Each structure stands twice: as C-alpha cells, then as structure tokens.
Amino acid sequence: MKHILMLAWLVVLTACGADQTAPLQGSMAGDTTGSQKTFQWKMVTSWPKNYPGLGTGPEYFARQVEAMSAGRLKIHVYGANELVPALEVFDAVSNGTAEMGHSGAYFWKGKVPASVFFTSVPFGLTAQEMNAWLYHGGGMALWEEAYAPFGLIPLAGGNSGVQMAGWFNREINSLNDIKGLKMRIPGLGGEVFQRAGGEAVTIAGGELFTAMQTGVIDATEWVGPWNDKAFGLHRVAKYYYYPGWHEPGSTMELTVNKKAFDSLPADLQAIVRNAARAANQNMLDEYTAHNNAALKELVEKDGVQLRKLPDDVLARLRELSEQVLEEQAAADPMSGKVYASFKAFRANVKTWHAVSEQAYIEAR
C-alpha cells in the first residue's frame, strides 16, 4: 500500500515537473492575486560580493527563500557598490530602489540613534543573549518601532559572535600603553577608546592592511580570526588581543521595504521571516566553526602572539562604556526606551549566564 502511494506521489511530482510549460506559466502570470504569482527582488548589501560570512550570509538567505518558495520569490543579491554604495543600503531599501538590504544597524546611527543597540554595543550582549532579547525579550518590537518611520521592516540576519579586540603593533600592558595609540575602531567602541586616551579612527575594511603596513594606524580591530586572516592582518601586526569588548556579538540586519513585504502573500511573508531566522543562526555557526580553525593556524603557523587585554584596561573600558551608553540613552526618547529594555535584559541574563554558560565554560 505504502509503495503504491509513493508511486502515485511520484507520478504527481513528475506530472508537475512536466507541466513547467507555456500554458501553466501563462495562467500563473495572469493570476496576480493568487498564491502562484512570482516575485523578483533585489537585495543591496554593505559587503563585497560573497565576502566570507558577511557576504555569503545574504546569499544563503536568498537560496533558502527560493528553495522554500519553489522559486516564487527570487532575490538577486548585490555586493557593495554594485547597485548602491555600502553605506546607502538603508536609504535604498527605504525608498524602494531595492526591496531588501543586508547591513549593520549601527551604520545608521546618524538617522536612527537607537540603531546601535540592534547591532552591538561595548560590554553589551553576546550573540546568544542578543537573540534571546530580540526574539523573546521585546527587542524585535522596539527595532520595528525604530524603523517604522522609514517604511522598513528589520529582521536579524546573522551574527559574528564575540569579536577580537584587534591587532596591535605593540604590547598593551597597562592603560598607559593606550595613550596616543591610533586605532581603527568605529562606533561607540571608538568613543570609549578615545576617552581611554587613544585616538579612534574609522577606515573601511578593505584599506586596513595598507593603513597598518604604512603606519597610518598603530592598531585595528576588524572581526575575528576567520575574516582577519582573509585580510592578511597577521602580516602587519604581531599582537592579537582579546576579548572584543567593543563588539561582543554583532547582529547583522536584513531590512525589507514594507510596501514590498505587504505585497507578498502570507506564505511568502512567513518564508522571508523564517529564512531570516535560519540565516541569522547559520552565520553564527559559520563564524564559530571557521574562527576555530583560523585561530589555530594564526598561532601555530603564522607565529601570531595571542594576548588578553590586562584586567585594569578592561575594567576602565567597562567603566567608560557605561558612561557612553548612558549618554547615548539620553540622546533621544527612542534610544532611552531601547536602552531601558536592553539594560534590564542584560542584568537578568548576566545573573542566569553566571551559573549556566559562564560557569560551565570555566568548569570544562
């Protein structure tokens, strides 16, 4: 009986396959309200096409959507500058130049000050904690509220995990060694670094190798072993410091033009949302797996000196980070609202993780 049913099913499948011909396509094209309408979307990104992790993440998302929708929603992913410049992704999706974007929310701090909390902030949440706050702690609703005035729907679309503190051309033994140090470290982390006595600069990822090599900067952070090795940063600095206090679990964002999203039937909307969740987790898994291997190679083959930032340096950076976050919270009402939620969640999850993740990792 089972075999007969399976055979019958195969016949149906084959018949469907054989029916991908003009008459059926014609009826699909004519059906503009039904579930068979097909959509071709564009997605602009802030990363080089297929860059490890950041660029392969949105490609993974597009593949999942196409497979889950049986080709009814196809998304073409553009690398940075192919359709719009890296830092115009937000505007391009907001004004409908593209239906979707993949980027980092903290790039839009000038337009949406609260956006920094949806990527990562100094001494903020780990990837696991970010996802818990976003999906089950009220974070996602606040993110949606912050982007609503721009006609955008945000979705979490990847996470780098805890980053590295960065590459330094000299050892950091105390706070004094930070004084006057010129480091590429963007965002709120840069603001904190500046207050600790350093000089923070912002340079695009692709220019970091040359900036270090020519001595324009003394230090730089980027992401972690997998991405940093790809840029060859181990060839221009000897000391590789951890932990990445300034970006403890950076969430990447997928943005969707609200009008475009509303034009999709409910099942395709669900596919977009669920493919985003898959892509969000997949990127973290990819970083975790590749960082392992890359770190091993950097230390064992490339002779990189791995160092932990001294406790007093981390303590000072933590203190300054709290100041900077409090000021950020006071910048505008939405930032205040988001920070209140974020801060309460961080305090609670810290208590829980002290006896779970942290205690276990220390005991292992």
Residue ranges binding Ca ion (CB under 5 A): 163, 247
- How far is Cα 19 from Cα 6, in angstroms, rounded to an integer? 20
> Which of 165, 268 has the CB closer to Ca ion?
165
* Contact yes or no for 217/184 (Cβ under 8 A): yes
CB of 233 to Ca ion, least distance (A): 12
The β-bridge relationship of strands 239-242 and 251-257 is unpaired
> Which of 163, 257 has the CB closer to Ca ion?
163
Helix (H, G, I), strand (E, B) or coil at 165: coil
Amino acid (one-letter) located at 79: G
CB of 136 to Ca ion, least distance (A): 26
Amino acid (one-letter) located at 26: G
Using Cβ positions, the residue closest to Ca ion within the complex turns out to be 247
> Which of 162, 260 has the CB closer to Ca ion?
162
* Cβ partners under 8 Å of residue 21, min gap 6: none
Q: How many CA atoms lie within 13 A of 338 on its CB side?
A: 30
> Which of 163, 280 has the CB closer to Ca ion?
163
CB of 130 to Ca ion, least distance (A): 15
* Contact yes or no for 121/139 (Cβ under 8 A): no
> Which of 58, 244 has the CB closer to Ca ion?
244
> Which of 58, 104 has the CB closer to Ca ion?
104
b/e burial code for range 151-182 (CB count within 10 A of at least 16 → b): bbbbbbbbbbbbbbbbbbeeebeebebbeebe
